[in-house]
Structure 1
């Protein structure tokens, strides 16, 4: 389990310094992930694997000397924000309220750390802090899928990829929902120390070094509680008729608009094209049927309006990142009857 290489260090230090930003609503679980992957090995693991020293030094830092988190966790004394400026890697864990205002001092410190050459990393809603600091402008990124609409509205200059478990964009790395922090942490470990070493750490954590599929397979739009859009009644009607052949001309006639007006109003209300929205809803319907019924995939394709299994397959894999069969095997609550 010896690493094949060593992580980059700076300023003559023996260890790669990971500065972990802590704010009052930091998600404690993601702090623990970083400490488990990059921090000191436990005595038992060190003895069994003959690897006692981690090549990393994890330093928790914040604007205040101490934060008792919203979850009640107390992470102890924190180093100052200046620690970020000399770190090799800066990590921003997820936060309980990604949409909340952030102190200027925190955002300024993040920008200064990036300017100083630190590798910048965020987990889950931590991407909102990197984005507010301007560090994701013109880059690809991801965050928790539940906040993808809010992220796109606030940061249109960022190419959001909410279906990914994590996104590696040069010196900036972002991950999706809470447990995606482990996926990204192991990816960074593989970059620094080699894939074999990262694989062994994954085994110690009892997690796969690379999970199949992506975050998209966990998306469930019905979990969101949103206000009624301007086209709310029309969207309700559409959901009831997804199984039917639909054309833009027919849909425009349904709402007594020209096709051009419908396209414009629909994108304004939903942020999507008409048929991107329809295909998303059809895939959502297919996911429900895969989870709860024994219907064959070709039958499900017809039931949700795709018409053929091949059309369902193409749209399903594009949106969900895995096959319909694999999705059913993962999320089916009871075994499918033979």
Structure 2
């Protein structure tokens, strides 16, 4: 493994300095991802791959001298938080309390590092720290899809792309759920050291260098205990009826007749309750029900399309890919709940008799 290029450095240093921000509620796994990808190489593996020289200097920094994380892990002594001001990259792993207030000292240091030209990176809910520091204002970012509602409320000046595994917006890089930290880390390696090097390291990590689709394929709103379905009481009965009769050819006109309302009145009430148009909501619900069938049945794609009211396999594929970011077949291969059936071992060969 040999890089085809090297990351930019500053202040006359030989290595690209990454300041890894460790907070009292840092998620240990995302801290470990950063350390594994950008930190010290595992000697036994490096001896086999020749990947001995690390072009990065990874420095753990914090507001205190040391933190024992909620998982019980002690990452060791921490450099002063102000180290971020001279770093080439500032990296913020996810935090267990994304909605918690952050200190003025932390926000000021992160904001100053951004103004000084550091590359800013967050994993998962670490985006809330960048947001609190104003780094995401006017930029596109992502975070864990379960936190999309809270993120939008907290940072209305940021553009949330909750469907993305990671987002590269110039000098600011953000990733979605915990394991997409690896996706973003490999993307940064490709930028810094070349695609070939990133691909080779992905093989060492046994992680795909690029995963198809995005977070949309993992979204399931029922996982939130506070998710009671969109809309106010005045349209909940209609939404329930549409779900139960999703295969029907619903139109705004037919639904308006059912509700004894004008089309304009129903459209206005529907959007006020759900935030989207009647057509968009029905399409999203059809895709959601298609996901359930793809996960739990062996129905052919054409049958799934008919069952959810999308008519044809091509219509399902087009709407599913636009909404979820991957094809129905690829989604089924990833999420089907039936355990794979292993092929039977070949019969034992009977040795030929010895010649007399």
Q: Which residue of 1 aligns with 2:58?
A: 58
Q: Which residue of 1 aligns with 2:216?
A: 216
Moved more, 293-302 or 249-258: 249-258
- The CA deviation at 1:43 is 1.4
Q: Give the RMSD, CA atoms, in angstroms.
A: 1.9
- The CA deviation at 1:282 is 0.9
Gap change, CA 1:335 and 1:64, over 3 Å in 2: closer
- The CA deviation at 1:326 is 1.2
- Residue aligned with 1:64, SS: coil
8 Å CA contact 2:270, 2:277 repeated in 1: yes
Q: How does 1:14-33 map to 2 (within 5 A)?
A: 14-33=14-33
Q: Which residue of 2 aligns with 1:179?
A: 179
- Normalised by the size of structure 2, how large is the TM-score? 0.89
8 Å CA contact 1:139, 1:159 repeated in 2: yes
Gap change, CA 1:75 and 1:271, over 3 Å in 2: farther
Report the Cα distance in structure 1 between the residues aligned to 2:180 and 2:327, rounded to whole angstroms: 20
Gap change, CA 1:256 and 1:6, over 3 Å in 2: same
- Normalised by the size of structure 1, how large is the TM-score? 0.94
Q: Which residue of 1 aligns with 2:252?
A: 248
- Residue aligned with 1:102, SS: coil
- The CA deviation at 1:234 is 3.3
Q: Which residue of 2 aligns with 1:121?
A: 121
Which residue, out of 308, 311, 315, partners 1:304? 308
8 Å CA contact 2:221, 2:227 repeated in 1: no
- The CA deviation at 1:64 is 1.8
- Residue aligned with 1:307, SS: coil
Task: Name segments (4+ residues, structure 1) moved above 4 Å.
Answer: 253-258
- Count of residue correspondences: 337
Moved more, 309-318 or 184-193: 309-318
Gap change, CA 1:332 and 1:197, over 3 Å in 2: same
- The CA deviation at 1:289 is 0.3
- The Cα offsets for residues 82-113 of structure 1, whole Å up to 9 and x where unpaired, read as 01111100111111122222222211111111
8 Å CA contact 1:122, 1:173 repeated in 2: yes
- Residue aligned with 2:110, SS: helix
Q: Which residue of 2 aligns with 1:320?
A: 324
Q: How does 1:1-338 map to 2 (within 5 A)?
A: 1-226=1-226, 228=228, 229-230=231-232, 231-255=235-259, 257-334=261-338
8 Å CA contact 1:141, 1:174 repeated in 2: yes
- The Cα offsets for residues 147-188 of structure 1, whole Å up to 9 and x where unpaired, read as 122222332322222221111111011111100000100100
